[in-house]
Structure 1
Amino acid sequence: MTSRGFDAVADELYALPRDEFTPARTERAKEAKGRDPELAKRITQLRKPTVAAWLVNQVSRRHADEIGQLADLGARLRTAHQKLAGDELRTLSRQRNELIRRLSGRAGGVAGEAGVPYSDVAMRQVEDTFEAAVSDPDAATEVAAGRLSAALEPSSSEDWLAAALAASPKRKAAPKPAPKPAKRDPEAERRQAALEEARTKADEAEAARDEAQQALDEVTARAEKAAARVAELRSQLDDATREERAVRKELTAARKAATVADKTADEARRQVAEMESFGKRSKR
């Protein structure tokens, strides 16, 4: 099956309710395994989306026009920054914040429909993902595709935007010198590094859990198949046992009938012999 076939399967899986992802992925991988082992492997490697990623995927599929506005705003913000157009940057920044809040509300609506808790952590991750779509064209493409397995982070702290927003329109021809690099905060860097490590471990644990679930699903399916086979064989054995008993009864009856017939035949022969012997004596 071609990559187009893979795209179709991926689209199907990431559009499903989150709790249906793993069993559906297992089923699709099994279907593809006999025809295209490489495709089956690629399907197996698709990761179950986190809650935040799943919510973003659903919003992207339901509100594609608004998702497209994220990329458009990002491009306009970057252009305005290059021109040091402070007023335009402020206007666009307000539009971006309003759009992200609106999309976050859309995600909350999806969560409510699905009965999925929309925690503060999930909300922050959803908003970070939409923010990433504004700051990075590649992230915007990923979000629009609706196949995220994990939330995204903005590609930078957007210092360029903050600096541009602080610029005065009157200073466009002579912009202020670039701000001095922020003073390092070793403790903040340590916390950020620890956070990134924790997120990586969480992603790895999620992937391991999905793999374990897939293995469990496969073994469960095999166990159910074996149990069905055992039940079928037991049913056949019961039928064969009943048939054997019936045949044995028929055999016993046939043996008795044969014994009676044998005795009857012997008696008939004896009588014939006696009659023949009597006839011979009479002739004498």
Structure 2
Amino acid sequence: MTEQLLEIADGLYALPLGDFTAARDARAKELKGTDLAAPVKALRKPSLAAWVVNLLVRRDADQVTQVLDLGAALRDAAAGMQGEELRALTRQRRQLTAAVTTGARALASGEGVKVTQAVADQVEATLTAAMVDARCADAVRSGLLVTALASTGVDEVDLGSAVATPDALGFTASTTERPPPDLHVVPDPDADEKAVAAAREAVEDAQRVVDDARRTATEAATAVAELEARALQLQSEADELKRKLSALEDEQEEVDDDLSDAESERSEADAAAAEAERELAAATASLEKLGG
């Protein structure tokens, strides 16, 4: 059953992104009553970045092989602590992933899909992850990615939710010039039902986005309210400190005045004491002359 599931997934993930959900549901319906129906129905629609990488794997296998081979060489160089070679390979890695990402965007454009810079960054990050992590390379090679990848080559990447099925690791995607025509959705009696299912999925996706946005807005509003309250508290404390500072400045002026007066009085007292001492000395001298 594993091999059959991978073959079915290989065909589905080679389709244009907009055809995936309806084609998957139609295939699961065909398989109703078999062991494959549930796992086929559970196959997840890939993100746009994952779809672009899957497209690249199928349409330009040589480029992908070049990326993965350079990644293996880079890992060997890193393991052998070959500094100069490592730096050279790292430069090649960046140049290659940038160039291959540009090519992937062109392939997507040929399918009528516009790839934004944000999505292109995810594609390049996925290619980089495949170069620094052998397991990520296996995931890319499968052509069954459902999400973009990111890896520094240090921590192990959890690939369980990144590929259509855990058995995808070790599978190699088929190469195609164009999406298999027999898997394209064609008009059938269930077209309306499929359209409704796809519309419901779109509504659910949009609702999740709205819920996330509302939650973020609520958190932001709470943060604003807390900061406003803190700002008022700080303003009140600042006003109180200004009042205390003003009072202290007034008190300092009074003390300075009193100090000036006290210093004047001390000078006068010192002068009087000196005068009294001189008079005492003169009287004592007169007394001595008189024989007293």
Pick the TM interval, shorter chain: 0.5 to 0.7
Could you list the runs of 4 or more consecutive aligned residues of structure 1 that deviate by over 6 angstroms after TM superposition?
none
**2:103 is equivalent to residue 106 of structure 1:** yes
- Tell me how far apart the structure 1 counterparts of residues 195 and 91 of structure 2 sit (CA, whole Å): 56
Match of 2:47 in 1: 50
Pairwise CA distance, 1:15: 0.3
Write out per-residue CA displacement over residues 71-115 of structure 1, whole angstroms, 9 at most, x where no aligned residue: 322222122123322221122112211220121011111221122
- Tell me how far apart the structure 2 counterparts of residues 221 and 112 of structure 1 sit (CA, whole Å): 26
Match of 2:6 in 1: 7
Q: In 2 relative to 1, CA 123–222 (structure 1 residues): closer, same or farther, beyond 3 Å? A: closer
Write out per-residue CA displacement over residues 4-36 of structure 1, whole angstroms, 9 at most, x where no aligned residue: 2211110110000000000000010011113x1
Match of 1:256 in 2: none
Matched residue type, 1:130: L
**2:143 is equivalent to residue 146 of structure 1:** yes
- Does the aligned pair in 1 maintain the 2:5–2:40 contact within 8 Å? yes
**2:53 is equivalent to residue 80 of structure 1:** no
Write out per-residue CA displacement over residues 147-200 of structure 1, whole angstroms, 9 at most, x where no aligned residue: 111111114479xxxxxxxxxxxxxxxxxxxxxxxxxxxxxxxxxxxxxxxxx9
Mark the runs of 5 or more structure 2 residues left unpaired by the alignment. 156-160, 162-189, 197-292
- Does the aligned pair in 2 maintain the 1:29–1:40 contact within 8 Å? yes
State the identity %. Answer: 41
Q: In 2 relative to 1, CA 86–221 (structure 1 residues): closer, same or farther, beyond 3 Å? A: closer
- Does the aligned pair in 2 maintain the 1:70–1:140 contact within 8 Å? no
Match of 2:265 in 1: none
Match of 2:231 in 1: none
Q: In 2 relative to 1, CA 156–78 (structure 1 residues): closer, same or farther, beyond 3 Å? A: closer
- Tell me how far apart the structure 2 counterparts of residues 53 and 221 of structure 1 sit (CA, whole Å): 23
SS in 2 for 1:84: coil
Write out per-residue CA displacement over residues 237-257 of structure 1, whole angstroms, 9 at most, x where no aligned residue: xxxxxxxxxxxxxxxxxxxxx
Matched residue type, 2:32: K
| Structure with the largest fraction of helix | 1
- Please give the residue correspondences for 1:115-194 in structure 2 after superposition, counting only pairs within 5 Å: 115-156=112-153
Match of 1:28 in 2: 27
How big is the alpha-carbon RMSD for the aligned residues of Structure 1 and Structure 2?
A: 2.4
- Tell me how far apart the structure 2 counterparts of residues 112 and 75 of structure 1 sit (CA, whole Å): 30
- Tell me how far apart the structure 1 counterparts of residues 109 and 127 of structure 2 sit (CA, whole Å): 19
- Does the aligned pair in 1 maintain the 2:22–2:195 contact within 8 Å? no
- Does the aligned pair in 2 maintain the 1:25–1:43 contact within 8 Å? yes
Structure 1 length normalisation: TM-score?
0.53
Pairwise CA distance, 1:136: 0.8
Match of 1:220 in 2: 193
Mark the runs of 5 or more structure 1 residues left unpaired by the alignment. 159-199, 201-216, 224-284
- Tell me how far apart the structure 1 counterparts of residues 48 and 194 of structure 2 sit (CA, whole Å): 27
